[in-house]
Amino acid sequence: MNWPALFGTTPGVTVAVTLVFMGGCALMTGRALARTWRPAWHLVPYVLLLAVADRFFTYALFEGALLSWSGFLLDAVILGALAGLSFQAVKARLMVSQYPWLFQSAGPLAWRRRHRR
């Protein structure tokens, strides 16, 4: 696999910028959207904006490829997965904590309806 051709930069820069810096931003974005009860599809435009910012930071700070479409798409997929995971985890926690008479936890990412007796 030719990493620089695929991501438009080196593996170290990809980990530092995409996973650590922008990944943290994606986690916060998912959490914010879940806490304000927005639908999941609202993640899409925010994730695309984060991927654009990721490409710009990679270009401006580390001389990576600005117009790398494969890099942009891979960054968007990674950031989307992190934002979606954060969104679902917070949404599950909110459903169980705000409606304890209706729902119970079914793991860190899910909830289920309580059985009536």
- Per-residue pLDDT reduced to its tens digit, 88-106: 999 999 999 999 999 999 9
Domain spans, the chain: 9-113
Is the distance from CB of 64 to CB of 81 less than 8 angstroms?
no
CA distance 76 to 83: 10
What single-letter amino acid sits at 56? F
Is the distance from CB of 95 to CB of 111 less than 8 angstroms?
yes
- Per-residue pLDDT reduced to its tens digit, 21-31: 999 999 999 99
The CA-to-CA distance between both ends of the chain, in Å, stands at: 57
Residue partners of 116: CB distance under 8 A and separation at least 6: none
Question: Structure pTM?
Answer: 0.90
